[in-house]
């Protein structure tokens, strides 16, 4: 049996008729940027988040950068995040002119440890350079937002959720993305809600932030040819919006199927010599990725490949090991949890189209 890590065309074939029709409508409309499809998708997306204003942008990275700028982050400010994130989280911080500061993670959820955040902030001299914090809902599991928001408020920081991997996940019964000041989403094709190209979304609760973001994404225009602020060109186009509107209607079913597959993995791997993902009592995980840990990670990955099963690693190097981020001045040993995990984690295939037989085969190959 061959099991690829992603098989995006399978999802397309399942909903081909609806996608093809939505795309054809856009072609025929003669309107391709900032039109009715985007407007409708933004309304539907904020309804899915159960609140907030949604602003469609060019990518998840742009969503984070523009959210930081709209929240007033300026060159020389610090923005705090975690070392085990996808590099675009820090790419966005640097693009906003700020300096990324890293704090270690909670070993159960792999997300920001609120105690590390607080001890970093307590150790700083006033006035604080840190202006914002970006907890990352990694793999689709929400970070522990209540203590993070409480600490951020105490120190006057804005909270920007990196929800790029977590569309539809829940924290204490609320959907992620509207818990802090801004929530950022990615529609990269492999995401739970993936487009056929790049795309992203920022969701905010404050109307003034929403207006600022609408200007930032469109050259800084307040109205046509009236530029109120410096801006960018970062708009979710009509084709992607039309595709994503179709897919949004399936998202909850797809996320539920991901959760069932995770349940199957949990049952079938109960006796395997692996650490399995946890779901904190406050969380509804949407399993963008199913990440296990093994001390024999590389051996396990090779063995599965020999059995036709392709796995991946998210991520093989924490941010501060990367050449580009040596400049931050961190050393090996600064973030023991994230560092250890980077050599043990392995992402098993998980997408809604996988069959129970395929999952059973993967689990069997892990155990033999």
Least distance CB 248 / ligand PLP (angstroms): 16
Stretch that binds ligand PLP, among 5-13, 81-89, 330-338, 347-355 (CB under 6 A): 81-89
The closest residue (CB) to ligand PLP is: 60
Tell me which H or E stretch contains 175.
strand 174-175
Q: How far is the CB of 165 from ligand PLP (least distance, A)?
A: 5
Asked if 318 touches ligand PLP (CB under 6 A), the answer is: no
Pinpoint the alpha helices (H) of the chain.
8-14, 16-29, 36-49, 60-70, 88-95, 114-122, 145-154, 207-216, 238-268, 297-306, 336-342, 356-367
Question: What binding mask, one character per residue, do residues 173-212 give for ligand PLP by CB under 6 A, x or -?
Answer: -------------x-x---------x-x------------
Nearer to ligand PLP, 236 or 366 (CB): 236
CB 275 within 8 A of CB 234: no
CB of 356 to ligand PLP, least distance (A): 27
Name which position in 46, 65, 81, 85 contacts ligand PLP (CB under 6 A): 85
The residue assigned the tokens 């942008």 is 57
Q: Is 61 near ligand PLP (CB under 6 A)?
A: yes
Q: Which of residues 116-175 bind ligand PLP (CB under 6 A)?
A: 136, 162, 164-165
Quick one: 46 or 165, whose CB is closer to ligand PLP? 165
Verify binding: residue 88, ligand PLP, rule CB under 6 A: yes
By the 8 A CB rule, do 108 and 78 touch? no
DSSP, collapsed to helix, strand or coil, labels residue 171 as strand
**Minimum CB separation from ligand PLP for residue 221, in Å?**
23
Q: What is the DSSP string of 181-210?
A: SEEEEE--TTSSS--SS--EEEEES-HHHH
Distances (CA, A) of 80 to 60, 91, 182, 357: 18, 13, 15, 42
Among 38, 53, 54, 59, binds ligand PLP (CB under 6 A): 59
> What values do phi and psi take at 15, rounded to 5?
-125, 25
Contact predicate 214/202, CB 8 Å? no
Residue 193 beta carbon to ligand PLP: minimum distance, rounded to whole angstroms: 11
Query: Residues in the site for ligand PLP, rule: CB under 6 A?
Result: 59-61, 85-86, 88-89, 136, 162, 164-165, 186, 188, 198, 200
């Amino acid at each position: 049996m061959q099991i690829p890590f992603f098989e995006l065309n399978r999802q397309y074939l399942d909903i081909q008729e609806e996608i093809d029709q939505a795309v054809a409508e856009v072609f025929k409309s003669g309107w391709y940027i900032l039109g009715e499809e985007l407007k409708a998708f933004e309304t539907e997306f904020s309804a899915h988040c159960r609140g907030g204003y949604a602003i469609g942008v060019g990518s998840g990275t742009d969503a984070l950068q523009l959210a930081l700028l709209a929240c007033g982050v300026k060159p020389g400010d610090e923005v705090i995040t975690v070392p085990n994130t996808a590099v675009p989280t820090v790419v966005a911080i640097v693009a906003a002119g700020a300096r990324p500061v890293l704090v270690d993670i909670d070993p159960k959820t792999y997300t920001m440890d609120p105690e590390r955040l607080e001890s970093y902030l307590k150790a700083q001299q006033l006035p604080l350079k840190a202006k914002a914090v970006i907890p990352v809902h990694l793999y689709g599991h929400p970070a522990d937002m209540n203590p993070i928001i409480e600490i951020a408020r105490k120190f006057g920081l804005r909270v920007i959720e990196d929800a790029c991997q977590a569309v539809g996940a829940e924290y204490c019964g609320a959907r992620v993305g509207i818990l802090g000041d801004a929530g950022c989403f990615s529609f990269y094709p492999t995401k739970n809600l993936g487009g056929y190209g790049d795309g992203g979304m920022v969701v905010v609760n404050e109307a003034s932030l929403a207006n600022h973001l609408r200007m930032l994404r469109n050259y800084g225009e307040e109205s046509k040819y009236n530029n109120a602020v410096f801006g960018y060109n970062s708009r979710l186009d009509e084709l992607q919006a039309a595709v994503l509107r179709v897919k949004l209607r399936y998202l909850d079913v797809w996320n539920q199927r991901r959760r069932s597959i995770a349940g199957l993995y949990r049952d079938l791997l109960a006796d395997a010599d692996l650490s399995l993902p946890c779901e904190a009592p406050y969380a509804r995980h949407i399993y963008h990725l199913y990440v296990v840990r093994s001390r024999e990670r590389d051996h396990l990955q090779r063995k599965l490949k020999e059995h036709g099963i392709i796995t991946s690693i998210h991520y093989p190097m924490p941010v501060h090991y990367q050449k580009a981020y040596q400049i931050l001045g961190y050393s090996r040993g600064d973030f023991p949890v994230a560092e250890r995990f980077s050599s043990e984690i392995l992402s098993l295939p998980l997408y809604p189209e996988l069959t129970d037989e395929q999952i059973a085969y993967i689990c069997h190959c892990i155990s033999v």
